[in-house]
């Protein structure tokens, strides 16, 4: 899963560079004050050592005194430039230290910041912010220098069963079964090649999943990527088994050992709703005329990530008249797709992208009445309805060498799912797969 590891490596590199820069600065000033040779220059040099050491042997005056953490949930309209000084933090230094890893000015209302206070100190000396399910950003003051790093969150795992039946909406049913939004997304990702969770799930659909609860200090934070799922929608049953082949690739397979991965995702957005379908004779809400609607509109908030539906080369990235900020992809074979009205594009013309890569974000640039994604699909240069076009099937199989292992693994998981075997930690579930990033 190189794409899971890549961002972490990037961050590490970022902090190494930050550490190098930090290491250089004090030595420079040390040189410049060398003639003076006073106590200040000595102190500066030693603080540089502490910084490059990642503070493993920070000198401590009172080892028994524990720092305390204060939680701050960002309210609507509250800005970082006001929050940080309230906790005694220098806004600019903190933002600059964090900038290699995360742009803190972009965090929104509802998110939580935590501030660390040394005993009896009135100013915080560290800030932590949860970047995603697995990583926390820590910005810390060590001897007057602010630096940032990424900490991996370590979870305790407990394998369990979750199930629900859709009454009205998938979200309602899944939420009632204790799934959080991120858990629903990871369930949707298991089936992203088979079912568009936006449009295709019907009342009566049901899911039963074998899944790890991930806890910190005894408190469940979220679920892991499902180990096995049985999803029934209308008359179709979809079984998905998470399995890692001997070459280390983790994917979802159906019960027969066919990979669920397909050349195309059902939808470029994880969740949204269709606000306007493919229609050869539509009344255009902005132009006030009848003209064909050669794509599908998905309503979604500005900033929602838009995913490449398949591996492709970017053939257009940037403004394109009424389409606003626009990305067009040329896929293998006769297929092309495009994505209009983006608030931001995140790919360049000529770039290769992989299925699931974020190519831009939902917006309302060009001719648009509000934020939405206008999604087009071509086969042999002709517009087709992306919701109904027959898509090529992939169907890569479990390698022959892993066949026996897969069958044993599948049988054990299905027996556990059906309550015929006690639930045990599956032999394979060491790695928590980030389904989206792993390109499963």
- Under the rule (CB under 5 A), what is the footprint of Zn ion? 297, 374
> Which residues are 113's β-sheet partners?
72, 129
Residues 6 or more apart in contact with residue 409 via CB below 8 angstroms: 241, 243, 426, 427, 428
Which segments of 144-233 are extended strands (E)?
A: 145-152, 156-165, 206-216, 219-223, 228-233
Q: What one-character DSSP code corresponds to residue 248? A: S
For 422, the token pair is 């006690």
Least spacing, CB of residue 322 vs Zn ion, in Å: 10
Minimum distance, C-beta of residue 88 to Zn ion, in the bound complex (Å): 49
Q: Report in angstroms how near the CB of residue 389 gets to Zn ion at its nearest.
A: 16
Is the Cβ of residue 374 or residue 409 nearer to Zn ion in the bound state? Answer: 374
Distance (Å, rounded) from C-alpha 440 to C-alpha 433?
A: 9
- Give the residue with the Cβ less far from Zn ion, 249 or 282: 282
Give least dist CB 340 to Zn ion, A.
Answer: 7
Nearer residue to Zn ion within complex by CB, 140 or 297: 297
C-beta closer to Zn ion: residue 262 or 374: 374
Q: How far apart are CA 186 and CA 183, in angstroms?
A: 5
Q: How far is the CB of 156 from Zn ion (least distance, A)?
A: 46
- Shortest Å distance, C-beta 204 to Zn ion: 31
For residue 132, is it left (φ>0), alpha (ψ between -120 and 50) or beta?
beta
C-beta of 81 vs 292, nearer to Zn ion: 292
CB 363 within 8 A of CB 342: yes
Rounded least distance, CB 324 to Zn ion, Å: 11
Query: By Cβ distance, which residue is nearest to Zn ion?
Result: 374
With residue 339 as reference, give the H or E element that holds it. Answer: strand 335-342
C-beta closer to Zn ion: residue 322 or 399: 322
CA atoms within 13 A on the CB side of 221: 16
List 117's β-bridge partners, or say none. 68
CA nearest 330: which of 343, 346, 316, 319?
316
The nearer residue to Zn ion, 231 or 375, going by C-beta atoms, is 375
Of 325 and 374, CB closest to Zn ion: 374
Q: Which tokens sit at 61? A: 């005056």
Burial class (CB in 10 A: 0-12, 13-18, 19+), 57: exposed
Shortest gap between Cβ of 365 and Zn ion (angstroms)? Answer: 13
């Amino acid at each position: 899963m190189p794409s899971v590891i890549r961002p972490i490596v990037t961050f590490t590199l970022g902090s190494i560079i930050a550490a190098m820069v930090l290491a250089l600065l004090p030595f420079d000033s040390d040189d410049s004050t060398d003639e003076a040779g006073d106590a200040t220059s000595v102190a500066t040099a030693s603080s540089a050592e502490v910084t490059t050491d990642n503070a493993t042997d920070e000198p401590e005056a009172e080892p028994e005194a524990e720092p305390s953490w204060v939680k701050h949930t960002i309210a609507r309209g509250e800005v970082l430039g006001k929050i940080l000084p309230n906790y005694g933090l220098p806004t600019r230094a903190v933002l600059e230290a964090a900038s290699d890893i995360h742009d803190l000015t972009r965090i929104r209302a509802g998110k939580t910041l935590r501030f660390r206070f040394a005993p009896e100190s009135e100013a915080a000396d560290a800030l932590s912010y949860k970047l995603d399910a697995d990583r926390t950003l820590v910005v810390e003051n060590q001897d007057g220098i602010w630096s940032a790093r990424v900490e991996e969150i370590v979870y305790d795992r407990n394998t369990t069963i979750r199930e629900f039946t859709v009454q009205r909406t998938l979200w309602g049913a899944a939420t009632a079964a204790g799934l959080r939004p991120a858990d629903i997304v990871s369930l949707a990702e298991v089936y992203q090649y088979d079912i568009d969770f936006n449009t295709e799930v019907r009342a009566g659909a049901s899911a039963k999943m074998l899944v790890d609860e991930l806890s910190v200090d005894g408190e469940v934070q979220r679920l892991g990527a499902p180990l096995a799922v049985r999803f029934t929608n209308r008359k179709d049953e979809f079984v998905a088994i998470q399995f890692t082949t001997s070459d280390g690739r983790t994917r979802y397979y159906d019960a027969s050992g066919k990979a669920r991965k397909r050349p195309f995702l059902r939808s470029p957005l994880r969740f949204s709703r269709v606000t306007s379908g493919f229609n050869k004779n539509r009344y255009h809400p902005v132009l006030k005329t009848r003209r064909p609607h050669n794509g599908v509109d998905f309503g979604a908030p500005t900033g929602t990530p838009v995913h490449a539906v398949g591996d492709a080369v970017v053939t257009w990235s940037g403004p394109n008249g009424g389409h606003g900020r626009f990305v067009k992809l040329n896929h293998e074979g006769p297929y092309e797709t495009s994505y209009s009205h983006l608030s931001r594009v995140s790919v360049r013309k000529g770039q290769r992208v992989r299925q699931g890569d974020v190519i831009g974000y939902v917006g309302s640039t060009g001719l648009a009445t509000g934020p939405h994604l206008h999604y087009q699909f071509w086969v042999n240069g002709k517009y087709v309805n992306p919701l109904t076009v027959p898509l090529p099937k992939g169907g890569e199989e479990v390698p022959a060498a892993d066949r026996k292992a897969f069958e044993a693994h599948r049988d054990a998981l299905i027996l556990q799912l059906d309550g015929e075997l006690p639930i045990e930690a599956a032999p394979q579930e060491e790695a928590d797969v980030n389904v989206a990033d792993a390109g499963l």
